[in-house]
Amino acid sequence: MKARFGWAIASAILIGNLSPASAADMPVKALPAAPAPIFNWTGFYIGANGGGIWGHNNVSSNFFDGAAVASAQTLAALAGTGGANGSGGFGGIQVGYNWQHSTAWVFGVEADIQGMSLNQNRTSALFTIAPNSAQDFDQIHHDWFATFRGRVGYTANRALWYVTGGLAVANTRFSRTQTWAFPGDACVVDPRNGLGDCHVGSASKTSVGAAAGAGVEYAFNGNWSVKLEYLHIWLQDNNSFLTQNSGPGFVGPPVVVQRFNQSMNDSNLDLVRVGVNYRFGAAPVVAKY
């Protein structure tokens, strides 16, 4: 009896000594790593932008004056047709909204308005139908533009690549001095070419067209993001304006008005801009398995 009791005590002591070592040697299952947060683009945003803009306009003219001789009408059409180019800068603000669901596709709408300074100057060649000559000095000026566009993008977490397109609106002011060398008109001499400033006029219009482009946006800090974007804007202008004939040699009152039709059928603006946005409600979303 004493022997059995001694064996029991010895076995308990042995098991107690072996149990911690055995537990330490057992493999432990690793805990799964916390999933990386995924940025969600859904929400309203507001921001500012600025950049450079380049413009090209094709200008054509028709001279409506039944009393004018054929050579005058031909010279007006020749001198009044051609292209004008220029560049400038701009800055403005934008607002928009994005939708992102469970996929990587992002859909959005955006509206923006910018002030700009863009002058496109044009000096025509000197055209001559003996013994008369004509030459045009034109300027096309833009003060502002706005766009209303949709956006479709694909995101890789915080980077969003997108295409965009929609409506464009801008102001267009056209100014013209058409100089002549017709005998008897006695117009004020233009120092640029020695011809007479016989037809001077201007017209302003709010022009409507389309915009299309592409860009990339990156969310860099909480709800802040930056973007780089290219946009092409096409405007349908078609301005008509009246020119004042300043020479005393014209028949009628001291100032006689004649009509030109100035068409800018292909007014094209190309711009590159950078912008910064603050997004309301956007936050990282933890991925689920």
User: Pick from 86, 76, 85, 82: which is nearest to 59 by CA?
Assistant: 82
- The beta-strand segments (E) located in the chain are 37-39, 43-64, 82-100, 105-123, 127-129, 132-156, 159-180, 196-221, 224-236, 239-245, 256-263, 267-280, 284-286
pLDDT on residue 202? 82
Q: What is the pLDDT of residues 140-166, one digit of tens each?
A: 899 999 999 999 999 988 999 999 999
The phi, psi pair for 152, rounded to 5°, reads -130, 125
What the chain holds in terms of domains, given with CATH numbers, is 38-283 (2.40.160.20)
Quick check: helix, strand or coil at residue 136? strand
253 pLDDT higher than 60 = no
Q: What is the pLDDT of residues 265-283, one digit of tens each?
A: 578 999 999 999 999 975 5
- Average pLDDT over the chain, rounded to an integer: 81
Q: What is the pLDDT of residues 223-232, one digit of tens each?
A: 899 999 999 9
Element (H, E) at 77: helix 70-79
Distance CA 90, CA 135 (A): 32
Q: How many CA atoms lie within 13 A of 265 on its CB side?
A: 5
Residue 101 CA: distances (Å) to CA of 42, 97, 196, 221 = 8, 13, 67, 21
**Which amino acid type is present at position 94?**
Q
Contacts of 191 (CB under 8 A, 6+ apart): none
205 and 155 Cβ atoms separated by less than 8 Å: no
85 pLDDT higher than 70 = yes
pLDDT confidence bin for 18, thresholds 50/70/90: very low
